Structure 1
Amino acid sequence: MTDLVRPRRALLSVSDKTGLEDLARSLSERGVELVSTGGTARAMRDAGLEVRDVSEITGFPEMMDGRVKTLHPMVHGGLLALRDDDSHAAAMEEHGIGAIDILVVNLYPFEAAVAGGADYATAIENIDIGGPAMIRAGAKNHAYVAVVTDVEDYDALLAELDANHGQTSYAFRQKLALTAYARTGAYDAAVSGWMADALGETAPRRRVFAGTLAQTLRYGENPHQSAAFYVDGAARPGVATAEQLQGKELSYNNINDTDAAFELVSEFGGDAPACAIIKHANPCGVATGKTLAEAYRRAFDCDRTSAFGGIVALNRTLDWETAEAITEIFTEVVIAPDADPAAREIFANKKNLRLLLTGGLADPKSGGLTFRQVSGGFLVQDRDTGSVARNDLKVATKHAPSEAEMGDLMMAWTVAKHVKSNAIVYVKDGATVGIGAGQMSRVDSTRIAARKSQDMAEALGLSEPLTKGAAVASDAFFPFADGLLAAAEAGATAIIQPGGAMRDDEVTAAADEAGLAMVLTSMRHFRH
Structure 2
Amino acid sequence: MSDLKNMYKTLQQDPFPNELTLKVGEQEMVFAKRTWDIDGETKGLRYGENPDQPAALFELKKSELEVGGVRFRGPGMGLVSALNESNMLQAGKHPGKINLTDVDNGLNILQYLSAKPAAVILKHNNPCGAAWTEDGLATAMQRAFECDRIAAFGGAIVVNRTLDKATADIINNAYFEVVAAPKFEPDALEELKKRKNLRILEIPGINELASFSKDPFLDIKSLMDGGMVVQFSFRNRILSTGDFIPAAAEKDGESFTARAPSAKEADDLLFAWAVEAGVTSNSVLFVKDGTTTAIGTGEQDRVGCVMLAISKAYTKYADMLAFSKLGKSLFELKLAARNDAEMAKELETIEAETKEARGGLPGSVAVSDGFFPFRDGVDLCIDEGISAIAQPGGSIRDHEIIQAVNEASPQVAMVFTGQRSFKH
Range of TM-score over shorter length: 0.7 to 0.9
Which residue does 2:244 correspond to in 1?
Answer: 393
Please state how far the C-alpha of 1:479 moved relative to its aligned partner. 0.8
2:33 paired residue among 188, 212, 219: 212
Partner of 1:505: 399
How much does 1:412 deviate? 1.0
Q: 2:364, 2:385 within 8 Å by CA — same for their partners in 1?
A: yes
Asked if 1:371 is matched to 2:220, the reply is yes
2:284 counterpart residue number = 424
Name the structure 2 match of 1:153.
none
Q: For residue 178 of structure 2, what is the aligned residue in structure 1?
A: 333
Contact (CA 8 Å) 1:266, 1:315: kept in 2 or not? no
- Seq. identity, %: 37
How much has 1:208 moved relative to structure 2? 6.2
Equivalent position SS for 1:345: helix
- Partners of 1:387 and 1:336 in 2: how far apart? 26
2:307 & 2:97 partners in 1: Cα distance?
31
- How many residues in Structure 1 have an aligned counterpart in Structure 2? 334
Separation of aligned partners in 1, 2:58 and 2:145:
32
Q: Which residue does 2:414 correspond to in 1?
A: 518
For residues 476-487 of structure 1, the aligned pairs below 5 Å read 476-487=370-381
Q: Which amino acid aligns with 2:222?
A: Q
For 1:527, give the aligned amino acid. Answer: K
Partner of 1:364, secondary structure, is helix
Q: CA deviation at 1:506?
A: 1.3
Q: 2:34–2:82: 8 Å Cα contact kept in structure 1? A: no
Q: How does 1:144-293 map to 2 (within 5 A)?
A: 186=21, 189=22, 204=25, 210-214=31-35, 215-233=43-61, 234-242=75-83, 243-246=87-90, 247-269=92-114, 271-289=115-133, 290-293=135-138
Q: Which has the larger radius of gyration?
A: 1
Tell me by how many angstroms 1:228 deviates.
Answer: 2.2
Larger strand proportion of the pair: 2
**In structure 2, the residue corresponding to 1:452 is in which secondary structure?**
helix
The match for 2:423 is 527
Which whole-Å CA distance do the structure 2 matches of 1:348 and 1:493 have between them? 43
In the alignment, the residues of structure 1 paired with residue 118 and residue 297 of structure 2 have an alpha-carbon distance, to the nearest angstrom, of 21
Q: Does 1:469 align with 2:360?
A: no
* 1:439 pairs with 2:338: no
Aligned to 2:336: none
After TM superposition, the structure 1 stretch with the greater mean CA deviation from structure 2, 231-240 or 399-408, is 231-240
> What displacement does 1:338 show?
0.7
**Residue 398 of structure 1: how far off its partner (Å):** 3.8
SS, match of residue 395 in structure 2: coil
Distance 1:359 1:457 in 2: 35
- Structure 1 residue 213: Cα displacement: 4.1
1:209 Cα shift? 6.3
* Partner SS state of residue 273, structure 2: helix
The answer as to whether partners of 2:47 and 2:55 remain within 8 angstroms in 1 is yes
Q: Which amino acid aligns with 1:295?
A: A
The TM-score, its normalising length taken from structure 1, stands at: 0.60
Q: Distance in 2 between matches of 1:322 and 1:483?
A: 37
- Cα distance in 1 for residues equivalent to 2:117 and 2:192: 20
Unaligned runs of 5+ in 2: 1-14, 36-42, 62-74, 248-256, 322-352
Q: In 2, Cα distance between the equivalents of 1:350 and 1:458?
A: 29
Unaligned runs of 5+ in 1: 1-174, 194-203
Higher helix fraction (1 or 2): 1
SS in 1 for 2:308: helix
1:504 offset after TM fit, Å? Answer: 1.0
Closer/same/farther in 2, CA of residues 279 and 392 from structure 1, 3 Å limit: same
Measure how far apart 1:281 and its partner are: 0.5
